[in-house]
Amino acid sequence: MTVVMDAAQMNAFLGKVFLEVADEFRVEEVTETGVTLRLLVQNRHLRPGGTVSGPAMFGLADVAAYMVTLAHIGPRALAVTTNCSIDFMRKPAAGVDLLAYGRLLKLGKTLSVSDVLIYSEGTDKPVARASLTYAIPPAGVDLPHA
Amino acid sequence: MTVVMDAAQMNAFLGKVFLEVADEFRVEEVTETGVTLRLLVQNRHLRPGGTVSGPAMFGLADVAAYMVTLAHIGPRALAVTTNCSIDFMRKPAAGVDLLAYGRLLKLGKTLSVSDVLIYSEGTDKPVARASLTYAIPPAGVDLPHA
Amino acid sequence: MTVVMDAAQMNAFLGKVFLEVADEFRVEEVTETGVTLRLLVQNRHLRPGGTVSGPAMFGLADVAAYMVTLAHIGPRALAVTTNCSIDFMRKPAAGVDLLAYGRLLKLGKTLSVSDVLIYSEGTDKPVARASLTYAIPPAGVDLPHA
Amino acid sequence: MTVVMDAAQMNAFLGKVFLEVADEFRVEEVTETGVTLRLLVQNRHLRPGGTVSGPAMFGLADVAAYMVTLAHIGPRALAVTTNCSIDFMRKPAAGVDLLAYGRLLKLGKTLSVSDVLIYSEGTDKPVARASLTYAIPPAGVDLPHA
């Protein structure tokens, strides 16, 4: 499927509409097969023992699925997650960022379905997998901050 | 199923082993049918428009499932979520806390399964539902902070 | 939420539009809080050892979620499941039917969300739980067999 | 990850321990990255309109996840699915088989996690995706039929 935004455009979009999280996430790469999103791991993401928390991994999967949807439909601020299934499979490595690889499986008029694999940077076994459904708002009713 | 901890014990436990989140959550009630957990909504939980974020709701479901498991097995610090499926069904109301009702569906030797309904305080339609699986550590290898 | 069909109407509807499965399922009860659906267990539902198969339990959850949606919107033949998350928690008892209790959590214009608990008849611990999302067709484009 | 069974061995195993379903499924290919499983679509898999039913697709995902687990651990008859999340994304094409591509994401001592994409043969957009968790029995307590 053709992509209509590149990494720089997606990072600029995140900075505008998700100011709250823009310093946590950075789109690394956008290709026709998917989007790579980095979680810039900070103290607030950690649980006892120095491991990244479940909610932080959920948030990473969520933004990755959002980004891979936007890569194909262009900037829309109001898309909302309606469903997520996530498996936590391994403990993230301490002291490194997490990288999420999101892939768009379906792009309908009102819904998108994506899946995401999350890795500790520098390792080759996924720490988590997720699949997510997004409700896509009608074109024209979005981008309140743009 | 019999419960072995009450709300005060669970809040004390949270304060010891999850210091990072203890000011966000408060166990309101523990009964044989389930646990009620409050998310004390703060600025950091909000998204643009004043609504509670997806990761904050995920975190609430996660801790509620953990608490309802502990209510039946007693304090264990190392239980980990292995799977969560969550549906976001309605926009949370602005300016009120969220309440999660967790219910234990299965308690095995190594796994528990729970489901959780989340409401904006004072409303009767759930904003989210979740089901979660926890891996329970063997007794005796836990409570590093206790 | 108000229901607009009773058990007899739902069984008649099943017989018309799902002839293939009408001899497997029977709606037992419809109330404002949910629908009880029976799987009339037959040889084709069984796996080695006499236990009900996963696909048969999935099918039961699927039809239960469909029935609880229809109970609130009236007969529509084209509703389709878009997502299901299911946990298999215990082995079903041999030689008895399964009963599913479906509950409607959200009824939107285009989607419904339900959850389902499945029991072996006569036992009080659920063998499975499921949550399902249905895409509801616009009124007027359905009921091809009615 | 290394595989320890090939397609012929897996088909022979299916014929022995899952006689009920052995005429429905055929392992097409086993590689280090995954397993391809065919659903030989028959009348009993169809819903009104000639489309493959949800339970039949669930069953295909379930067996594919089982096969990809066995490919790495060798024949074990008692593995059981504990969780499945499945998204139905497109209507299967009429009159063709379904092909499932299963991939092992985690192989632990007691659990495996896999994901599966399902296609109508000859098309390149997936009709469904699923992720599944299997409970692996201890070695030595299985293969009752072998």
Q: What is the pLDDT of residue D142?
A: 46
Chain D contact probe: residue of C58, C63, C78 with most D CBs at under 10 A:
C58
Contact B113 C90 (CB under 8 A): no
Tell me if residue A41 falls in helix, strand or coil: coil
Q: What is the pLDDT of residue A107?
A: 95
Neighbouring-strand partners of residue A118: A100, A128
Collect all residues from B whose CB is shorter than 8 A from any CB in C. 85, 87, 89-90, 105-106, 113, 115, 117, 125-126, 129, 131, 133
Mean pLDDT of C57-86: 93
Does residue D30 or residue B144 have the better pLDDT? Answer: D30
**Could you tell me the CA-to-CA distances from C62 to B130, C8, C113, D106 in Å, in that order?**
18, 19, 12, 28
The per-residue DSSP string of C19-57 comes to TTTTTTEEEEEEETTEEEEEE---GGGEETTTEEPHHHH
Does the structure show a pLDDT above 50 at B10? Answer: yes
Residue D92 to chain A, least CA–CA distance (Å): 14
Q: What is the pLDDT of residue A145?
A: 38
Average pLDDT over chain D, rounded to whole? Answer: 90
The 10s digit of each residue's pLDDT in B90-137 is 999 989 999 999 999 999 988 999 999 999 999 999 999 999 999 987
Can you tell me the distance from the alpha carbon of D37 to that of D60, in angstroms, rounded to the nearest whole number? Answer: 8
Binning pLDDT at 50, 70 and 90, where does residue C78 land?
confident
Can you tell me the distance from the alpha carbon of A64 to that of A27, in angstroms, rounded to the nearest whole number? Answer: 8
Neighbours of C58 (CB within 10 A): 29
Q: CB of B129 within 8 A of CB of B57?
A: no
Average pLDDT over chain A, rounded to whole? Answer: 90
- Facing residue for A55 by CB, picked from B55, B83, B144: B55
Work out the angle at residue B15's Cα, subtended by the Cα atoms of residues B10 and B16, and round it to the nearest 5 degrees: 100
Can you tell me the distance from the alpha carbon of C108 to that of C71, in angstroms, rounded to the nearest whole number? Answer: 14
> How far from chain centre, in Å, is Cα A54?
14
Q: What is the pLDDT of residue B143?
A: 41
- Facing residue for D55 by CB, picked from C48, C59, C89: C59
Does residue D120 or residue B144 have the better pLDDT? Answer: D120
Can you tell me the distance from the alpha carbon of C85 to that of A49, in angstroms, rounded to the nearest whole number? Answer: 31
In chain A, the domains with their CATH numbers are 7-135 (3.10.129.10)
Integer-rounded Cα Rg, in Å, for chain D is: 15
Q: What is the pLDDT of residue D52?
A: 93
Q: What is the pLDDT of residue C73?
A: 92
The dihedral through the CA atoms of D45, D48, D54, D55 has a sign that is negative
Give the containing element (helix H, strand E) for A71: helix A54-73
**Could you tell me the CA-to-CA distances from A23 to A15, A19, A36 in Å, in that order?**
8, 8, 16
Nearest CA in chain D to B82: D133
**Could you tell me the CA-to-CA distances from D118 to A34, B67, C13 in Å, in that order?**
19, 37, 31
Can you tell me the distance from the alpha carbon of D8 to that of D17, in angstroms, rounded to the nearest whole number? Answer: 14
Which chain B residues are closer than 8 Å to A90 by Cβ?
none
Does the structure show a pLDDT above 90 at B21? Answer: no
The 10s digit of each residue's pLDDT in A76-91 is 877 799 999 999 999 9
- Facing residue for C129 by CB, picked from B90, B115, B125: B115
Binning pLDDT at 50, 70 and 90, where does residue A146 land?
very low
Complex ipTM over 0.90? yes
Neighbours of D73 (CB within 10 A): 17
Parallel, antiparallel or unpaired: strands C98-107 and D80-88: unpaired
- Facing residue for D110 by CB, picked from B85, B110, B133: B110
Q: What percent of chain D has pLDDT over 70?
A: 95
Under 8 Å CB pairs connecting chains B and D tally to 10
Mean pLDDT of D111-127: 97
Residue C111 to chain A, least CA–CA distance (Å): 10
Neighbours of C33 (CB within 10 A): 11
Q: What is the pTM of this model?
A: 0.94
Can you tell me the distance from the alpha carbon of B20 to that of D29, in angstroms, rounded to the nearest whole number? Answer: 48
Binning pLDDT at 50, 70 and 90, where does residue C28 land?
very high
Residue D15 to chain B, least CA–CA distance (Å): 32
The 10s digit of each residue's pLDDT in D50-102 is 889 999 999 999 999 999 999 999 988 777 999 999 999 999 998 999 999 99
Residue C45 to chain D, least CA–CA distance (Å): 10
Which chain A residues are closer than 8 Å to B88 by Cβ?
80-83
Does residue D144 or residue C51 have the better pLDDT? Answer: C51
Q: What is the pLDDT of residue B141?
A: 54
Mean pLDDT of C137-146: 53
Contact C18 D48 (CB under 8 A): yes
Residue A24 to chain C, least CA–CA distance (Å): 30
Q: What is the pLDDT of residue A141?
A: 54
Q: CB of A25 within 8 A of CB of A60?
A: yes
b/e code D99-137 from CB counts within 10 Å (16+ = b): bbbbbbbbbeeebbbbbbbbbbeeeeebbbbbbbbbbbe
The 10s digit of each residue's pLDDT in B43-79 is 888 887 788 999 999 999 999 999 999 999 998 877 7
Contact C58 D54 (CB under 8 A): yes
> How far from chain centre, in Å, is Cα D136?
15
